[in-house]
A and B are shown apart, each in its own frame.
Chain A
Amino acid sequence: MKIAVCIKQVPDTTEIKLDPVKGTLIREGVASIMNPDDKGGLEMALQLKEKHNAHITVITMGPPQADDILREAYAMGADRAIHLSDRKFAGADTLATSYALAGALRSSEYDIIITGRQAIDGDTAQVGPQIAEHLDIPQVTYVEELTVKENNKLLIKKSTEEGYQMVEVSTPCLLTVLSSAGNARYMTVRGIVEAYTRDVEVWSADDIEVDQTKLGLKGSPTRVFKSFTKGAKAAGQIYEVDTEEAVDIILEKLTEKFII
């Protein structure tokens, strides 16, 4: 069984702070990490490796420093690492990103492609399903658990708002996985040491099967028109009133905020 896991390097958004004067993001000194849902996906793949002797390829698209998360994946137990790195990929929205990744996946073998449900910097949850469409394979999103059945079938527990669904899908397919799907293992010391001696394949746009006009900023239907931080808070109001009046005031504010 061959598994490809798509991973992304993201800033640890829980660490991002706003500059109180300029109101801009302070990104310097913020650690970069492997996106948590992707890490859950890699863990799911590693469990399949243990049970079914699966071969795991990890693949990422990003600037040179994204090499770090590929090394981390090696240290966790991945077998092969591919790094899509080329200026032509820069500025891609989700459609252009998924197109590039699909191009790379087309020239790799896979039975299952795993992506995280969403990345914490963008929270879009779009790249996984878009890759599946480019490759013309079925998708199952919000995957919590996975069992391999006979005849190229997978039995999947998929999370929904009301509970869960049990679904069956045939391979090849793409799954988007929640970080809760598996508590990601730690890297082993030996794994860390070895990770830096192993080869990461670096692929440029010329190495994948794509129409280059559909890559990067040029190939992206969506553009950022403007970005801004939310304005500073105005001073609050304090009321010292009887219970019913207090309730009226709270209800009025909740209505303004569309809560009720």
Chain B
Amino acid sequence: MDKSIYKDVYVFVEQRENKIQSVAIELLGKARELADELGEKVVAVFLGYNIQSKAKELIAYGADKVLCVEDDALEYYMTEPYTQAITQIVKSRNPDIFLFGATTIGRDLGPRLSARIGTGLTADCTGLAISEEKELLMTRPAFGGNLMATIICKEHRPQMSTVRPGVMRTKPKDETRQGEIEMVKVDFDKSKFKVRILENVKEEKSLIDITQADILVSGGRGVGCVEGFEALSDLAKVLGAEVSASRAMVDAGLIPQERQVGQTGKTVRPDVYFALGISGAVQHLAGMEESEYIIAVNKDKGASIFNVADLGIVGDLNQIVPALTRRLKKIRTNQQ
């Protein structure tokens, strides 16, 4: 195939109720890096209804160009209208790379598109880089995170990948950046629209599967009481984390058994594991030592949890946890 006709790094900008999702902003930052290395442009693909006024924001986050498709068929995400719109864009403009967020939307759209276009798609990448041959190197975990694999898509374009929210770092907003906004018209074959959304319900999800959490705030005997547990919940909330515990807290009735980490509980490997007031019995370590990054706080300098911790703090968690929560809240407020 003649690869020279394929140019630029495209990002699918996910919006929900006209709110641009954070994963799209993160992807624009990564796309900027990749495009600079290739000497190409970043193109944001923004689909929806009454969204045009938000397109400028995408330029501030790194896009050189925004392709804006306005149509009432695109107001809420549905597989077929979105697939048709993006297929037309891909066929007429020949992107080199196309990135999607690995959300319930991106993971519905990405594979459908890849099959319609006939190109490869690499799911849930944690690393994206450009090779010496100017190809996209897509690195992802496999076998439940036991192995990392770098994937390439040599003979098909665009090279497509999904990336989970929170994996790429947001680049700072630059309101002075210049770029172009182009309104694009799409012809829909509405006879293919066979799914209808009847109702969209929001509910506070209680994610009780701690093995799926990216961050766990875990407490042990040192947490002590109900108030101590509430402090942990506050910290978890501001971090977007789940609360888990060693057996001591479960036995004390402070937390249900489904949140127990360890040999008689669950095995977890989150990106960050806070071990707060956990001494580090072998049975507990067996359930969490494979965590990506372990932060331990314990009064006892000799606690065996410090043997597996990446960062150990000898101190009183009843002081440190509330102080940390306060500071994080302040940071979050400033970010908004």
Contacts and interface: CB of A to CB of B under 8 A. Distances in A.
Name which of B143, B301, B324 has the most chain A CB atoms within 10 A of its CB: B143
B293 A253 contact: yes
B5 interface: no
Nearest to A23: B147
Contacts of B137: 225
A138 B310 CA distance: 47
Contact of A221 (B155, B202, B203): B155
Nearest to A260: B331
Interface size, A (range): 35 or more
Given A165-B200, A167-B195, A236 B215 contact: no
A201 interface: no
Given A129-B108, A257-B293, A259-B215, A227 B142 contact: yes
A244 B327 CA distance: 10
A134 B267 CA distance: 38
Contacts of B142: 121-123, 227
Contacts of B110: 126, 129
Contacts of B319: 243
A259 B272 contact: yes
Contacts of A249: 311, 313
A53 interface: no
Interface of A is mostly: mixed
A155 B199 CA distance: 11
Interface in B287-307: 293-295, 297, 301, 306
Interface in B148-166: 148-156, 166
Contact of A253 (B83, B166, B194, B295): B295
Name which of A124, A155, A226 has the most chain B CB atoms within 10 A of its CB: A124
Interface in A215-235: 220-230, 233-234
Contacts of B155: 221
Contact of B148 (A11, A221, A228): A228
Contact of A95 (B114, B141, B198): B114
A151 interface: no
Interface string A69-103: 00000000000000000000000011100100000
Interface string B316-333: 100110011001100110
19 contacts: A93-B120, A95-B119, A123-B144, A124-B111, A163-B203, A163-B205, A221-B156, A222-B120, A223-B153, A224-B150, A225-B137, A236-B308, A236-B311, A237-B310, A237-B311, A238-B301, A239-B312, A246-B320, A247-B327
Interface of A: 11, 13-14, 16, 18, 25, 93-95, 98, 120-130, 132-134, 138-142, 155, 159-170, 173, 220-230, 233-234, 236-244, 246-247, 249-251, 253-254, 257-260
